[in-house]
Amino acid sequence: MRLGRLTILACSLSLAASAASAAPATTSGSVALALAGVVAPYSPLPDAEKKAVAAFFNGGGNVSYAKPITVTADKVVCRASNVDITSRSCELTFGGRSHTVKGREANAIFATIALAGVPGDGAAGTIYEALSKLSCTLDPAVIEDKAGGGANCNFEPGN
């Protein structure tokens, strides 16, 4: 009887942990701008919006784009090997389209997801960083004020 209760408790804790890891999360300010900045180049945004996001992320002022910009991704899954230390990649999914990034660019996305507070995961020689339902909103007018605002992201940690 006692073993059955322990099994039920263990299963309950496991379910609670997986539900907590999928809970929606938010970030704002410089981390949100960085997250939008590393995802935007691969997204289906119009070129003018991609250029504006890149200019903000690169520290440029006086960006001539005035409308709010929304950077979205259905899923971002990054992998780095701790066995083959040269192996790192990210798969970004936008609607029905996926884009794979490797090397330095993948490392930047991986590190930015971790900076946003997404807990890593690992198995069999691979370390994962993943999020889903990413939606970052950038307000150029507020960003131009240089008071720390104008960038907000919502997402679900994990995939």
- DSSP SS3 for 125: coil
- Classify residue 2: in a domain, yes or no: no
pTM of the model as a whole: 0.83
* Closest to 79 (Cα-Cα) out of 50, 43, 103: 103
- Classify residue 1: in a domain, yes or no: no
Number of domains forming the structure of the chain: 1
24, HSE (Cβ side, Cα atoms, 13 Å): 6
- Classify residue 4: in a domain, yes or no: no
- Classify residue 3: in a domain, yes or no: no
Model confidence pLDDT, tens digit, residues 61-81: 678 888 999 999 999 999 999
Q: Is 87 exposed, middle or buried (0-12, 13-18, 19+ CB in 10 A)?
A: middle
Model confidence pLDDT, tens digit, residues 43-60: 999 999 999 999 999 987
Q: Report pLDDT for 7.
A: 34
Domain carrying residue 107? 24-157
Model confidence pLDDT, tens digit, residues 91-123: 999 999 999 999 999 999 999 999 999 999 988
More confident residue, 10 or 140: 140
Mean pLDDT of the chain: 87
